[in-house]
Each structure stands twice: as structure tokens, then as C-alpha cells.
DNA sequence: ACCTGAACACCGTTCAAGT
DNA sequence: ACCTGAACACCGTTCAAGT
């Protein structure tokens, strides 16, 4: 049972420096909070100026704590990551390996559906991110346990790999984006329909041989590293 | 057998004006060509300045022919749209209704995989676009014939609707984007793996009841119109 | 009628000046 | 140590001036 990591202790160490001053710590918190709500509502293209204004600080302060807009975005994703880790733990604690796998994918999709920033962020960059590299490896191992168990139980097609899950989640993200539950009106849960189709697609019953084999974790991170270094 | 529409006769009528002057027509063509290659390689975030430079014209000329960057992008998508129409015609001409449907989805995915602009463009905006509204309706009717036939033949799950196809294509786009065949290195066709999973997901064999019903065409366009009008 | 490029309003990011 | 906001380099778009 791996518990969600604590990302900001009271001392908040960057690289390897001392704790932040009290006011700095509060400002950092405010920026992070403002960014979370703004990114969740407006997505990646929200302006840092608006976030700074909403946080009641100058833009310089924002960039002091988060050197780049992308860093700030990554920081806002942490709570979603923790939710996913919890979901995986819950899944591994269940006997029903299919229900567990479906639960993980559902939780991921729910986060994407309610947080436009998270939706925009899913993609190769998340694997390219050096700051996430280690934790990604840990998560991948958990996912591998989940998928292996489901395969052993015969509840998923036997050519399914843990490395497929990020891509399937990305696919679901594409559908969710098009479902357009971005803002106003009745926020639809149409994405559940396409999650259902994808889930049926990884079941063993109607499985047809796939034309391409799954990527290895090395290929996954290698591809992304080269993509981010262009 | 509906043949792909001709989008630019020698007379090129905008709104309802006269033919373009000879030099203007050539400039328009150059811009469109430059935009096609640049968007295909770099995606939406390519700059209009670079396109204008590559076309050998001033930015003002570019905006004279295409009032907005988005209009220019839409214009570059036309050849892909025509390809899809051809694919649907081919599919309807075949006896094998499953192969036909799979062929259409494959062609769409191939376009997305080789054209980053097309990949970035798929989404609700394509249905919101007033300029595409009519032709979208026509295409939807063709897709409906395709899906109905496949349902009647029992080769797809019987809760599949034609309106699902754009969303499934969007989903595939999400996976393709994450596959990251954007630039350098061996351009992977990993997306074919996830197309395979989605195809298995719409087969009748392992089909499980879906939690949400398909959107109607009206809902589809209505949602998008409200999204674009914000 | 059409083309051009300087000008404008915006964006993310930096940095000298303040406390 | 930290904060601030004017300044910078970029973007999409406009428009007065040219042919």
C-alpha cells in the first residue's frame, strides 16, 4: 500500500536550499492555488498574468517560484497524480482484477473531465519530464502489477501491456476534449461512452491480433526525451 | 458515388464577388501551399510570419486571402477531407461492411499521423465551423449509411452510431499525438495498435452495455456552437 | 485591386529597482 | 531574501501608404 507522496512539507526545499521565508511560502501557496483553479477552468492557454492577479502577487513573484509556465502547470497536476496513485492502491487491494483496472482508468478519465489543465497536459511531455521520471517509473511498476494480474486472471486480452495505459488514457483524453465539457451548459459525461468502448476493446472476448507491439518503457521515455529536446 | 468537391475553380469566388486577379490568385495559391507544408510539419503553433516568408509574400497579403490564421488552417484541411470522402465512397462500394468501416477509420488515422495540422485540428471546432456545417451534414449522412449497414450485417455492436465516429477519431488522435510521431527519428506507426483496440471495442463480440447514449447530430453541432461562441 | 511592412495589442519571461 | 512592474522578444492582426 503506497501512500500518496507529500510534495510540500513545511520546509519546502528547492534544489537543495534552505526553507522558504514565511511570506514567500504563503505567496507560493497562493500562486499554486490560483493556478490550479484557473488552469482547471481555462486550460493551458490561460495567461500567467491572470493567475498572478488572482493570486494577488506580481508576475515576477510567480516566476520566482515557478521558473516557467510549464513548471507551474506541472505543479498543479500533483493532486491529480496523488488521486491516481490512491486509485491504483485501491485497485490492487481488490480481488476483482478487472474491476480494479477499470476503476483506475475511470478515475483518470474523471480527473481529465473535470480539470481542463490536466486534460491538456496528458501526453508525451509527462514522460519526458525529468522531474517526473523517477516517480513515473514507480507508477509504471504498479500499473504493470495491475495489468499482469488481470492478464493472469484472463479478464483482459493477453497482448495488453502496462505501457499501453498512458496511450489509452491519451486516447480517452482526445474524446473527452471533443466532448467539450469545457465550460457552460450541462457538463456532459459523454466521455463515459467512449471509455466503455475502450474497455470493451481491451477485453479478451472480441480481441483480434494487433498489428504493432507495445512500446517498452525505455522506448517511451526515449521518444519523449528526443521530442522535448528539439 | 459522390466525387470529392472542387474547392478552387479557376475563378475562385469569395462570398459572392468576381474572380481574383491573376497575381492575387497565384499568391493565394502560394500561401496555401506553404501553409499546408508548415502546418503539417509543425502543427497549429507554427507562426503565420514563417508561412508568409516561405510563400514569399507579406503578412498583409496572407491575411487578405485568409482573414484569420484559423481560416488558413481550415483551408489546408480540405485535401484531407477529400481523401476521407473518397475513402467513404470506396467503403460503400465494397460488400464487406466491416472492412469498409475499418478502412475509413484507418484512412482518417493515417492523415492525422502524417499531418500534424490535421491532428491538432480535429475536435469540436470542426463541427462548430459554420463554413463546414453543410458539408458536415452530408458527410454524416454517408457515415450513417456506413454504420447502419455494418449494424444490419451484425459486424459492429448494435449500440454504435455514426455520431460516435468523430469522437472515436478524436480519441485516436489523442493516442497518435502521444505516440509523438511529430518529427525526427523513425516515425512510428504505434497508433495502429490503438486503432486496433478501438476497432475491437466496436465489434459485437465482447460488447458490454454503454453507460451513456450517443449524441445526436443536433446535440453535436449545438454543443460546439455554444463552445465557439464563448 | 492588390501588396507591403511598420504599428498595435497581446503573450511569456527577465531584471533593475525597491523593501 | 524576497517582491514589484516596467521592459523585452515574440505572437496574430490591422491599416496607412504605396503600385
DSSP secondary structure of B128-161: H-HHHHHHHHHHHHHHHHHHHHHHHTT-S-TT--
Q: How far is A15 from chain B (nearest CA, A)?
A: 29
Instruction: For chain B, give the mean pLDDT.
Output: 86
Contact in structure between A128 and A227 (CB atoms under 8 Å): yes
- At B42 the pLDDT is 96
Contact in structure between A123 and B178 (CB atoms under 8 Å): yes
- At B222 the pLDDT is 63
Q: Which helix (H) or strand (E) holds A165?
A: helix A164-179
What proportion of chain B, given as a percentage, has pLDDT over 70? 83
- At A217 the pLDDT is 76
Q: Between B133 and A161, whose confidence is greater?
A: A161
- What would the DSSP string read from start to end of A177-229? HHHT-SSSS----THHHHHHHHHHHTSSTT----SSPPPPHHHHHHHHHHHHT
- At A125 the pLDDT is 67
- On chain A, the residues whose CB falls within 8 A of the CB of B212 are 189-190, 192-193, 196
**pLDDT average, residue stretch A7-24:** 62
Report whether pLDDT(A148) > 90.
yes
Angle at B104 between CA B2 and CA B228, to 5 degrees: 85
- Is any atom of strand D within 7 angstroms of residue A57's beta carbon? yes
Q: Which helix (H) or strand (E) holds A45?
A: none
- At B206 the pLDDT is 85
What residue ranges define each of the domains in chain B, with the CATH number in brackets?
Answer: 22-67 (1.10.10.60), 76-228 (1.10.357.10)
- At B163 the pLDDT is 92
Report whether pLDDT(B226) > 80.
no
Q: Between B91 and A228, whose confidence is greater?
A: B91
Report whether pLDDT(B185) > 90.
no
Helix axes A130-152, A217-228, angle to 10 degrees: 150
Q: What digits encode the pLDDT tens for the residues B98-157?
A: 999 999 999 999 999 999 999 999 876 677 677 777 677 888 899 999 999 999 999 999
Q: What digits encode the pLDDT tens for the residues B42-65?
A: 999 999 999 999 999 999 999 999
Locate A131 and state its grid cell: 522531474
Spatial distance between the Cα atoms of A227 and A38, rounded to a whole number of angstroms:
28
Give B168's contacts (C-beta < 8 A, 6+ positions apart).
A175, A194, A197, B105, B198, B202
- On chain B, the residues whose CB falls within 8 A of the CB of A175 are 167-168, 170-171, 174
- At B136 the pLDDT is 77
Contact in structure between A80 and A111 (CB atoms under 8 Å): yes
- At B188 the pLDDT is 82
A97 pLDDT tier (thresholds 50, 70, 90): very high
Report whether pLDDT(B229) > 50.
no
Residue of A168, A161, A127 whose CA lies nearest to A143: A161
- At A2 the pLDDT is 46
Yes or no, beta carbons of B189 and A168 under 8 Å apart: no
Q: How far is B143 from chain A (nearest CA, A)?
A: 18
**B204: helix, strand or coil:** coil
Q: Which helix (H) or strand (E) holds A143?
A: helix A130-152
Q: Which helix (H) or strand (E) holds A42?
A: helix A22-42
By mean pLDDT, which of A42-46, A148-152, B224-228 is the weakest? Answer: B224-228
A206 pLDDT tier (thresholds 50, 70, 90): confident
Spatial distance between the Cα atoms of B33 and B29, rounded to a whole number of angstroms:
6
B213 pLDDT tier (thresholds 50, 70, 90): very high
**pLDDT average, residue stretch A72-92:** 95
Spatial distance between the Cα atoms of B136 and B124, rounded to a whole number of angstroms:
12
**pLDDT average, residue stretch A38-58:** 97
Q: Between A5 and A171, whose confidence is greater?
A: A171
Report whether pLDDT(A131) > 70.
yes
Contact in structure between B108 and B84 (CB atoms under 8 Å): yes
Residues around strand C, C-beta < 7 Å:
A 45-49, 59-60, 63, 67-70; B 20-21, 23-24, 27, 56-61, 63-65
- At B217 the pLDDT is 75
CB atoms within 10 A of CB A135: 14
Instruction: For chain A, give the mean pLDDT.
Output: 86
Number of H helices, E strands in chain B: 11, 0
Contact in structure between B113 and B177 (CB atoms under 8 Å): no
Amino acid at each position: 500500500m503506497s501512500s500518496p507522496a507529500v510534495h510540500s512539507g513545511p520546509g519546502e526545499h528547492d534544489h537543495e536550499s534552505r526553507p522558504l521565508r514565511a511570506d514567500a511560502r504563503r505567496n507560493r501557496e497562493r500562486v499554486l492555488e490560483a493556478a490550479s483553479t484557473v488552469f482547471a477552468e481555462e486550460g493551458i492557454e490561460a495567461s500567467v498574468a491572470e493567475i498572478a492577479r488572482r493570486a494577488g502577487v506580481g508576475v515576477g513573484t510567480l516566476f520566482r517560484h515557478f521558473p516557467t509556465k510549464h513548471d507551474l502547470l506541472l505543479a498543479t497536476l500533483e493532486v491529480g497524480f496523488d488521486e491516481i496513485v490512491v486509485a491504483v492502491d485501491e485497485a490492487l487491494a481488490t480481488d476483482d482484477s478487472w474491476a480494479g483496472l477499470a476503476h483506475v482508468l475511470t478515475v483518470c478519465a474523471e480527473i481529465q473531465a473535470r480539470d481542463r489543465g490536466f486534460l491538456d497536459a496528458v501526453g508525451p511531455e509527462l514522460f519526458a519530464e525529468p522531474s517526473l521520471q523517477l516517480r513515473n517509473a514507480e507508477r509504471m511498476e504498479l500499473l504493470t502489477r495491475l495489468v499482469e494480474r488481470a492478464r493472469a486472471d484472463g479478464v483482459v486480452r493477453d497482448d495488453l501491456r502496462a505501457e499501453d495505459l498512458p496511450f489509452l488514457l491519451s486516447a480517452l483524453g482526445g474524446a473527452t476534449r471533443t466532448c467539450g465539457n469545457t465550460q457552460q451548459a450541462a457538463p456532459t459525461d459523454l466521455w463515459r461512452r467512449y471509455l466503455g468502448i475502450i474497455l470493451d476493446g481491451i477485453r479478451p472476448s472480441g480481441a483480434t491480433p494487433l498489428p504493432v507491439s507495445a512500446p517498452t518503457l525505455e522506448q517511451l521515455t526515449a521518444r519523449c526525451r528526443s521530442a522535448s529536446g528539439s
